[in-house]
Each structure stands twice: as structure tokens, then as C-alpha cells.
């Protein structure tokens, strides 16, 4: 019985050994080949230089924008959920009537509750204040990643909405 | 040449079918990733699991690993090692998928390059099936010789 056990152990050991050896050889060849191929091709990419900041900027640039008239039109038809991406203090001082306050850092936490408020044809519009304000795009980007299907950005939204005299409210959400 | 051990036992026959299937699958999966490694790096980034410095290296290496696995599985070279690595790969893919399905991220699977759809539970089942197929090859592959060579008949 002992001999049988020992033989069995040696057999498994040898299989394991050869498997690991073969795996290491295949992986090493693939690694060498991949790195060489990448160096030689004209469109090579840096092996350790992935920049997520650039990528996020590119992805944010692709998010569609909406103008104030269309946004108000959808508001009247009740086919829109406004998301105020500013900080809670600014939000409390005044925001688009019915808007939710979702700061970019918290967007992934709020995505699930936001989803429940959407109907099949409704749109999410994010806004903040000022033409250069990045918050609305950041919130929109995270919401899109979290599976909100239709998100648009109203650039300089708060300023435009307020000056147009459209409905606003004060207080926390 | 005389045909021996055929069709019984059935497991080595199935193992050969699985081997060839996995081989074609790996070839197909690697093709678009090799064509556009930057796009593949973005796909891996979207999974939000690995640190940034590892993304490009993996995007460059993984498709070629798939190619070499395909070659090994197709030609019957180092099949044990290849099927072992293949099962590890599918297990890793399944884990990465599960993490993001639970997180609720709406990201492209990237399984077969750009054309892939968003991740869903079907992909997880598919990965797990491919993992089991790789394990099957690992345990039951005997190669073509098993059916043709006279020496194996006496075993």
C-alpha cells in the first residue's frame, strides 16, 4: 500500500513538474515574442506607459452635449432627470427644480437609485456652473460607465438656466 | 496503419475535439487584439482591476500568449502546459467578469476584440464552460498517436 502511495505521489509529482515546465516555456516564448513584435512594429505602444488621465479626457470629450432650449423642452415634457454635479452647498443655495445632487466622486454610489427613476425614453442631463466647469462631464462619465444609457451634458447649465428664468428651487435634495 | 482504440475510450476523442475548438477560439480571440493593442489596453483599463503600469504590458503579451496556446493545442505540442495555462486564463477571465458584474459596471467584454458586447452573465457561463473544456483536455488528451500507434493498444 505504501509503495503504491509512493508511486502515485511520484507520478503526480512528475506530471505537475512537466506541466509547470511546459507552461513556463510557453509563457516565456509568448512574452519574448510579444515584446519583440511590439518593438518592431511601427504602431508600437509603450510597455509601461498607460495614461488613464488622457483616456478619461478622451472619453469625456465624446459625451454628447445638449443646448438649453432642448433641455427645457424635455423638462416640460417630463422626459429628463437633471443631475446637479456641483458641491452640496451650491446645490442647497439653488438648483434646477427637481434636480438630484450627484457630485462626481459619489456618482457610482448613486447610479443604481438613479436608474430606478428613469423610464425607457427619459434622459439624464448633468450640469454645473461655468463653461469650463469639469464636474458635469465627470459625473456624466461615471454614470455612463455605471450603465445609465442616455446621459448628456448641459455646459454652463446652472448659469444658463438661471438667466433664462426657468424654474429653480432651494434646499437639499 | 491500423486504427486502434477507436471509438473507445471516448474521452480522448472528445479531448481532441475540445483541443481543436480551443485552438481556433484562441486564434480568433487574439487576431483583433494584436491588430490594436492600445484599444485592448483601454478594455483592460475599463475592468478597473489592474494598476495602470501593467495595462500595456498585458495588452501586448496576452494576445500572443493566446496565439502560442492556439499553436500548441493545434499541433499537439506541450498540450499539458497549454491546457493548464488555458484553464488558468479562463478562470482569470471569469473572476474579472464576476467582479465587474457584481460592481455593476457597463463595460465591453473585450473577449474577442472591439466587436464584443457589454459584459453579462452569459459570458461568465461561457468562460466557465471553456475553463472546464481546458481541464478536460488537460486530463484526457492522449493525442492522435493514441488511436493509431500499435504500442498504445497494449496499454
Mean pLDDT score of chain A: 88
Count of helix runs (H) and strand runs (E) in chain B: 7, 0
Query: Residue written as cell 498504445?
Result: B152
Among B78, A155, A114, which Cα is nearest to B70's?
B78
CA torsion B92-B84-B59-B126 (nearest 10°) is -50
B95 vs A: CB within 8 A: no
Asked if the Cβ–Cβ distance from A112 to B59 is below 8 Å, we say no
Model confidence at B145, pLDDT cuts 50, 70, 90, reads confident
> In Å, how far from its chain's centre is CA A29?
36
pLDDT average, residue stretch A34-58 = 84
Residue A45: which of B41, B45, B72 has the nearest Cβ? B41
Residue of B nearest to A148 (CA): B106
Closest by CA to B97, choosing from B46, B133, B58, is B46
pLDDT score, position A26: 96
What is the Cα A33 distance to its own chain's centre?
34
Between residues B69 and A6, the one the model is more confident about: B69
- Which residues, 6+ apart, have CB-to-CB distance to B41 below 8 Å? A45, A50, B55, B56, B58, B59
Q: Which residue has the higher pLDDT, B33 or B147?
A: B33
pTM for the complete prediction? 0.70
Question: For residues A153 and A150, what is the distance between their CA atoms, to the nearest angstrom?
Answer: 10
As a whole-number percent, the residues of chain A with pLDDT over 70 amount to 97
Among B52, B73, B117, the residue to mutate for chain A (most A Cβ within 10 A): B52
Domain ranges of chain A: 2-50, 53-169
Question: Do A83 and A139 meet the contact criterion of CB atoms below 8 Å apart?
Answer: yes
Q: How far is residue A80's CA from residue A122's CA, in Å, rounded to a whole number?
A: 5
Range list of H helices, B1-155? 10-35, 37-46, 52-75, 79-103, 121-140, 145-148, 150-153
CATH architecture of residue range(s) A53-169: 3-Layer(aba) Sandwich (3.40)
pLDDT at B154 over 50: no
Task: Write down the domain spans for chain B.
Answer: 10-148
Please state the φ and ψ torsions of residue A100, each to the nearest 5 degrees: -100, 150
Grid cell, residue B69, equals 496556446
Mean pLDDT across chain B, nearest whole number?
86
Whether the CB of B41 is below 8 Å from some CB of chain A: the reply is yes
Q: Is A153 helix (H, G, I), strand (E, B) or coil?
A: strand
Count A/B contacts: CB-CB distance under 8 Å: 93
Share of chain A above pLDDT 90, in %: 52
- Comparing CB atoms, the residue among B57, B68, B84 nearest residue A29 is B68
Q: Say whether residue A48 is in contact with chain B using an 8 A CB cutoff.
A: yes
Per-residue pLDDT, A121: 81
Please state, in angstroms and rounded to a whole number, the distance separating the CA atoms of residues A127 and A97.
Answer: 13
- Tens digits of per-residue pLDDT, B77-129? 999 999 999 999 999 999 999 998 888 777 888 888 766 678 888 899 999 99
Q: Tell me which of B33 and A6 has the higher pLDDT.
A: B33
- Which is more confidently placed, B79 or A48? B79
pLDDT recorded at residue B4: 58
pLDDT attached to residue B6: 53
pLDDT of residue A173: 62
List the single residue in B69, B85, B104 with the smallest CB-CB distance to A147. B104
Chain B nearest-CA distance from A173, in A, is 25
ipTM field? 0.84
**pLDDT tens, residue by residue, B21-68:** 999 999 999 988 998 888 888 889 888 899 988 999 999 999 999 999
**Interatomic CA distance for residues B58 and A34, integer angstroms:** 10
The single residue listed with the C-alpha cell 426657468 is A166
pLDDT tens digits, one per residue of A72-126: 999 999 899 999 999 999 999 999 999 999 999 888 888 888 888 888 888 999 9
Question: B82 at the A interface (CB within 8 A)?
Answer: yes
The whole-number pLDDT of residue B137 equals 94
Amino acid at each position: 500500500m505504501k509503495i503504491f502511495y509512493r508511486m502515485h505521489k511520484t507520478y503526480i509529482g512528475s506530471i505537475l513538474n512537466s506541466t509547470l515546465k511546459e507552461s513556463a516555456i510557453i509563457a516565456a516564448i509568448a512574452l519574448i515574442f510579444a515584446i519583440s513584435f511590439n518593438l518592431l512594429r511601427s504602431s508600437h505602444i509603450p510597455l509601461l506607459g498607460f495614461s488613464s488621465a488622457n483616456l478619461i479626457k478622451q472619453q469625456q470629450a465624446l459625451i454628447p452635449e445638449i443646448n438649453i432650449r432642448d433641455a427645457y423642452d424635455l423638462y416640460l415634457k417630463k422626459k429628463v432627470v437633471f443631475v446637479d454635479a456641483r458641491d452640496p452647498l451650491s446645490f442647497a443655495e439653488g438648483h434646477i427644480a427637481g434636480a438630484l445632487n450627484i457630485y462626481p466622486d459619489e456618482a457610482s454610489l448613486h447610479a443604481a437609485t438613479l436608474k430606478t427613476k428613469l423610464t425607457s425614453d427619459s434622459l439624464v442631463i448633468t450640469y454645473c456652473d461655468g463653461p469650463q466647469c469639469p464636474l458635469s462631464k465627470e459625473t456624466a462619465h461615471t454614470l455612463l460607465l455605471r450603465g445609465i444609457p442616455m446621459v448628456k451634458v448641459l455646459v454652463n447649465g446652472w448659469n444658463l438656466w438661471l438667466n433664462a428664468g426657468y424654474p429653480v428651487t432651494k434646499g437639499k435634495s | 496503419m491500423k486504427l486502434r482504440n477507436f471509438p473507445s475510450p471516448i474521452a480522448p476523442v472528445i479531448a481532441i475535439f475540445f483541443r481543436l475548438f480551443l485552438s481556433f477560439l484562441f486564434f480568433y480571440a487574439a487576431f483583433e487584439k494584436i491588430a490594436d493593442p492600445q484599444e485592448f489596453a483601454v478594455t483592460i483599463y475599463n475592468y478597473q482591476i489592474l494598476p495602470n503600469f501593467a495595462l500595456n504590458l498585458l495588452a501586448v503579451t496576452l494576445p500572443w500568449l493566446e496565439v502560442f496556446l492556439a499553436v500548441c493545442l493545434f499541433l499537439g505540442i506541450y498540450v499539458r502546459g497549454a491546457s493548464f495555462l488555458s484553464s488558468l486564463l479562463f478562470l482569470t477571465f471569469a473572476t474579472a467578469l464576476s467582479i465587474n458584474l457584481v460592481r455593476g459596471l457597463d463595460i465591453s467584454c473585450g473577449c474577442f476584440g472591439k466587436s464584443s458586447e457589454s459584459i453579462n452573465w452569459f459570458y461568465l457561463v461561457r468562460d466557465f464552460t471553456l475553463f472546464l473544456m481546458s481541464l478536460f483536455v488537460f486530463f484526457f488528451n492522449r493525442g492522435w498517436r493514441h488511436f493509431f500507434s500499435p504500442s498504445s493498444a497494449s496499454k
